[in-house]
Amino acid sequence: MRVTKAEFLVSATDPSVGTGWPTEGPPEVAFAGRSNVGKSTLLGALTGRNGLVRVSRTPGRTRLINFFDLEILLGSSTGDRRELRFVDLPGFGYAKVSKAERAAWFPFVEKYLGHRVPLKAVVLLCDARRGAEIDETELAHYLRDRGVTVIAVMTKCDKLSKHERRPAAEALKRQLGAHPVTVSATSGEGLDELWKRLVVALGPPSD
Ligand SMILES: Nc1nc2c(ncn2[C@@H]2O[C@H](COP(=O)(O)OP(=O)(O)OP(=O)(O)O)[C@@H](O)[C@H]2O)c(=O)[nH]1
Ligand SMILES: [Mg+2]
């Protein structure tokens, strides 16, 4: 598998504001999770394009829904190419109090996750040191009810020692109901495994 194209397409909030969301096209994979968990970094690392996505040390950096056009080559001998979109979402949980947290999560993000037709899969990131809380668990249930595949990711695994990883992954599996992919965007660990899961979630070509 090789990423043959990765280009920024557009930033948007609500479908009715400005140019809105792009016209429905290829299947979309969105990156969701707590603020600062590493969504934008992981998206960039999966594309292998440095500088495609802006990342910062300050939580709450991503304020808009950012769409990226991708093309992947599944087998060089078969020439099987797929188009898809990566969608970088603002994070939730930036505010301190739980109820305020949810209210603070942008309504346009909920609209996107709840209504966007081409949305096939959500990469749900959890910090390896923190695990999942009620927000992640509820989001996973909500998405599955909608028929969207949830790919659980335990990220920043470089922050855990080898023997800490397995119990952390098992706890996350119980919390999210899916075996997580253990990933580090900084070391590149787990990225191939995550791509495999993404390709399965995309399913066969639509045409
Ligand atoms: N050690 C380590 N740091 C990481 C990893 N992934 C991301 N980071 C760091 O975590 C911080 C936040 O990364 P972002 O990608 O901006 O996180 P985000 O989830 O997009 O944040 P918001 O857009 O604010 O919701 C940055 O300082 C990254 O360098 C990782 O796998 N390992
Ligand atoms: Mg971000």
Chain segment 100-123, per-residue pLDDT in tens: 555 667 889 999 999 999 999 999
Closest CA to 63 of 8, 13, 115: 13
Instruction: Calculate how far, in angstroms, residue 15's C-alpha sits from the geometric centre of ligand 2.
Output: 20
In a domain, residue 190? The reply is: yes
Q: How far is the CA of 12 from the centre of ligand 1 (A)?
A: 21
Label residue 18 by pLDDT band (50, 70, 90): confident
Closest CA to 91 of 120, 64, 56, 53: 64
Name the band, by pLDDT with cuts 50, 70 and 90, for residue 75.
Answer: confident
The pocket around ligand 1, CB under 6 angstroms, is made up of 35-41, 55-57, 59-62, 90-91, 155-156, 158-159, 184-186
What CATH number has the domain bearing residue 152? Answer: 3.40.50.300
What burial class does residue 67 get, using C-beta atoms within 10 Å of its C-beta: 0-12 exposed, 13-18 middle, 19+ buried? buried
Distance CA 201, CA 49 (A): 22
Q: Does residue 106 lie in a domain region? A: yes
> Looking at residues 37-43, what average pLDDT do you find?
94
Q: Could you tell me if 108 and 63 are in contact, meaning their C-beta atoms sit under 8 angstroms apart?
A: no
pLDDT of 95 over the 70 cut:
no
Model confidence over 131-185: pLDDT tens digits? 998 889 999 999 999 999 999 999 999 999 999 999 999 999 999 999 999 999 9
Q: Which residues surround ligand 2, an ion (CB under 5 A)?
A: 39-40, 62
Residue 207, in any domain of the structure:
no
In a domain, 148, yes or no: yes
Q: Does residue 11 contact residue 66 with C-beta atoms inside 8 Å?
A: yes
Which of residues 186 and 97 earns the better pLDDT score?
186
Three-class secondary structure of residue 3 per DSSP: strand
Tell me, what's the pLDDT at 97? Answer: 46
Distances (CA, A) of 193 to 45, 65, 116, 133, 184: 13, 25, 26, 24, 12
- pTM of structure: 0.94
Q: What is the Cα–Cα distance from 96 to 18, expressed in whole angstroms?
A: 31
Domain that includes residue 30, residue range = 2-202
In a domain? residue 32: yes
Domain count, the chain: 1
